[in-house]
């Protein structure tokens, strides 16, 4: 039986998960490929020995030792971050190795260089684990949905943020308290910035948009707002409007331009994404031929992510064995077809809105607010005002019909300087269910 040798850089959570998957599924992988997939070498600067079950694998502290080993067919990068990960990946490609990575930050920022180098060297780059953990989202987009113009992408792509929002919703507790708890339980990183500020989600959306539309995009092109400002009171009001607050990645394809945004969104409880709870991820595509597709599963974790990395290793091993390397372009589109497509300016976007205005409870306040909204062409859908306070401001909570972002910003700038308004208005975009399919 032909052997395919794998070199793994980084034996952390996902790296050790991959090693365990390759070991526990060895026989099944052989039955499904006719190949022996061997974890030949591991490079990790923090280890002095591997667990005993990996006695057949060589441990090194030097990634170059593995990258330059002529026996290694596939280099798997699982250290994360931009450097030295990019150097290792580029060196591996230059050495003629196929590469597998789960590194969404690297791909969303440096993907252009990496995929150009891979195309020039005639090697494959697998990155299934970079989006949606164990969910086969990359393969679905690249292969299962290949006969579709992708009209929209929408999803919950960060398990940490979804876990925090779920607990805030179920238990009515503050963001900071849930975050602290999540860190103690090991759900959230010591530095949770990327997860809670939407940056990790933007990395993932950039990767999906590149593949869905055949476009150049980095996460820096995506308007990104996180969940750290979401308050329990807004979650409670969302419930009264029949919605849940979720951190969504949203992109709609308008042909000449495409939307790209990550922000907290009020999702109607009737929508499938509203029921995705805890650390789970879900990605919703609309294709012009298939219609709506929802992929759901574990967005992180040692074994689910190990499963996704192993799937990439198998794909490449099969291609090597069949002499069909490059059969499926890494980014779905041929490299020469990937183009620049403008991103829709945020001010041009339209959706229904939620506003929470803090104002004194006096005659004429609601009329003044309604007048400003009306002047900017914003139509009110409903208003909630809780009973009069003894003293201090009350919350006037408004949901609107579809309104343009530029009109909303202009209207709120006027509302927030009213003498009766005591603090900046909280605004949250609501999901426009009619907009999943495009103009
Ligand atoms: N940090 C990510 C999350 C997992 O919380 O979903 C890996 O993508």
Q: Which domains does the chain have, with CATH numbers?
A: 2-133+302-337 (3.40.50.720), 138-297 (3.30.360.10), 347-430 (3.30.70.260)
Render pLDDT for 123-174 as a digit per residue (tens, 0 to 9): 999 999 999 999 999 999 999 999 999 999 999 999 999 999 999 999 999 9
- The edge-to-edge listing of strands for the beta sheet with 2-9 is 58-60, 35-43, 2-9, 74-77, 98-101, 125-126
Q: Is 220 helix (H, G, I), strand (E, B) or coil?
A: helix
User: HSE on the CB side for 289, CA within 13 Å?
Assistant: 6
Q: Is the CB of 200 under 6 A from ligand 1?
A: yes
pLDDT band at 433 (very low <50, low <70, confident <90, very high): confident
Distance in Å, CA 194 to ligand 1 centroid = 9
From residue 341, how far is each of 116, 213, 254, 338 by CA, in Å?
Answer: 18, 9, 10, 9
Sort strands 98-101 and 74-77 into parallel, antiparallel or unpaired. parallel
Model pTM score: 0.96
User: HSE on the CB side for 398, CA within 13 Å?
Assistant: 25
Catalytic residue among 41, 97, 104, 204: 204
Query: For position 438, what pLDDT does the model report?
Result: 45
Query: For position 435, what pLDDT does the model report?
Result: 61
User: How far is Cα 202 from Cα 219, in angstroms, rounded to an integer?
Assistant: 5
Q: What tokens does 391 get?
A: 């003293």
Contact 82, 59 (CB under 8 A): no
Which residues fall within 8 angstroms of residue 82, CB to CB, at 6 or more apart? Answer: 105, 106, 109, 110
Q: Is 426 helix (H, G, I), strand (E, B) or coil?
A: strand
User: How far is Cα 136 from Cα 309, in angstroms, rounded to an integer?
Assistant: 10
Contact 275, 285 (CB under 8 A): no
Ligand 1 pocket, mutate which of 158, 161, 201 (most atoms under 8 A from CB): 158
Distance in Å, CA 244 to ligand 1 centroid = 21
User: Does 204 qualify as catalytic in the annotation?
Assistant: yes
From residue 108, how far is each of 113, 226, 312 by CA, in Å?
Answer: 11, 18, 18
Q: Is the CB of 195 under 6 A from ligand 1?
A: yes
Residue nearest to atom 4 of ligand 1 (CA): 300
What would the DSSP string read from start to end of 221-258? GSEE--STT--HHHHHHHHHTTEEEEEEEEEEB-SSSB
Contact 121, 113 (CB under 8 A): no
Quick one: angle between helices 13-24 and 302-322, nearest 10?
A: 60
Contact 270, 142 (CB under 8 A): no
Checking if the pLDDT of 439 tops 60, the result is: no
> What is the per-residue burial (b if ≥16 Cβ within 10 Å, else e) of 212-226?
bbbbebbbebbbbbb
Say what percent of the chain tops pLDDT 90: 93
CA torsion through residues 172, 178, 181, 186, sign = positive
The CA-based angle 342-347-349, given to 5 degrees, is 75
Distance in Å, CA 395 to ligand 1 centroid = 34
Query: For position 9, what pLDDT does the model report?
Result: 98
Q: Residue for token digits 């252009």? A: 112
CA dihedral (255, 257, 263, 265) in degrees, to 10, reads -40
User: How far is Cα 239 from Cα 12, in angstroms, rounded to an integer?
Assistant: 40
Render pLDDT for 286-309 as a digit per residue (tens, 0 to 9): 999 999 999 999 999 999 999 999
Checking if the pLDDT of 182 tops 90, the result is: no
CA 281 to ligand 1: nearest atom? 6
Query: For position 129, what pLDDT does the model report?
Result: 97
CA 130 to ligand 1: nearest atom? 8
From residue 428, how far is each of 67, 177, 370, 380, 434 by CA, in Å?
Answer: 48, 22, 18, 15, 18
Q: Residue for token digits 């339209």? A: 350
Q: Is the CB of 160 under 6 A from ligand 1?
A: yes
What is the DSSP code (8-state) at residue 72? -
């Amino acid at each position: 039986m032909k052997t395919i040798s794998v070199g793994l850089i980084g034996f952390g959570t996902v790296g050790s998960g991959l090693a365990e998957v390759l070991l526990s599924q060895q026989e099944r992988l052989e039955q499904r490929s006719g190949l022996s997939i061997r974890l030949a070498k591991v490079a990790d600067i923090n280890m002095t020995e591997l667990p005993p079950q990996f006695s057949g694998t060589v441990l090194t502290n030097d990634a170059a030792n593995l990258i330059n080993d002529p026996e290694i067919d596939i280099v798997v990068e699982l250290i994360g971050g931009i450097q030295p990960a990019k150097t290792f990946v580029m060196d591996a490609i230059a050495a003629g190795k196929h590469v597998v990575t789960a590194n969404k930050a690297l791909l969303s920022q440096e993907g252009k260089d990496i995929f150009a180098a891979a195309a020039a060297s005639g090697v494959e780059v697998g990155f299934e684990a970079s989006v949606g953990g164990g969910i086969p989202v990359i393969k679905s987009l690249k292969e299962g949905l290949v006969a579709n113009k992708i009209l929209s992408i929408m999803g919950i792509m960060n398990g940490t943020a979804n876990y925090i929002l779920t607990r805030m919703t179920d238990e009515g507790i503050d963001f900071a308290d849930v975050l602290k708890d999540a860190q103690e339980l090991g759900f959230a990183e010591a530095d949770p910035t990327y997860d809670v500020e939407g940056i990790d989600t933007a990395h993932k959306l950039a990767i999906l948009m590149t593949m869905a539309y055949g476009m150049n995009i980095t996460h820096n092109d995506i308007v990104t707002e996180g969940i750290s400002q979401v308050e329990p009171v807004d979650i409670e009001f969302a419930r009264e409007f029949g919605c849940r607050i979720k951190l969504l990645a949203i992109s709609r394809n308008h042909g000449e331009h495409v939307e790209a945004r990550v922000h907290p969104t009020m999702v109607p409880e009737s929508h499938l994404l509203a029921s995705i709870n805890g650390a789970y991820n879900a990605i919703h595509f609309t294709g012009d031929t298939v219609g709506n597709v929802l992929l759901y599963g574990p967005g992180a974790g040692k074994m689910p992510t190990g499963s996704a990395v192993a799937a990439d290793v198998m794909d490449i091993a099969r291609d090597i064995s069949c002499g069909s390397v490059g059969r499926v372009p890494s980014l779905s589109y041929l490299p020469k077809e990937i183009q620049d497509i403008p991103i829709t300016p945020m001010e041009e976007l339209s959706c229904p809105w939620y506003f929470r205005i803090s104002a004194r409870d006096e005659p004429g306040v609601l009329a003044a607010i309604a007048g400003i909204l009306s002047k900017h062409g914003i139509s009110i859908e409903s208003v909630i005002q809780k009973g009069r306070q003894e003293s201090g401001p009350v919350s006037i909570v408004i949901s609107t019909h579809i309104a343009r972002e530029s009109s909303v910003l202009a209207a709120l700038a006027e509302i927030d300087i009213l003498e009766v308004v005591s603090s900046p208005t909280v605004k949250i975009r609501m999901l426009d269910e009619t907009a999943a399919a495009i103009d």
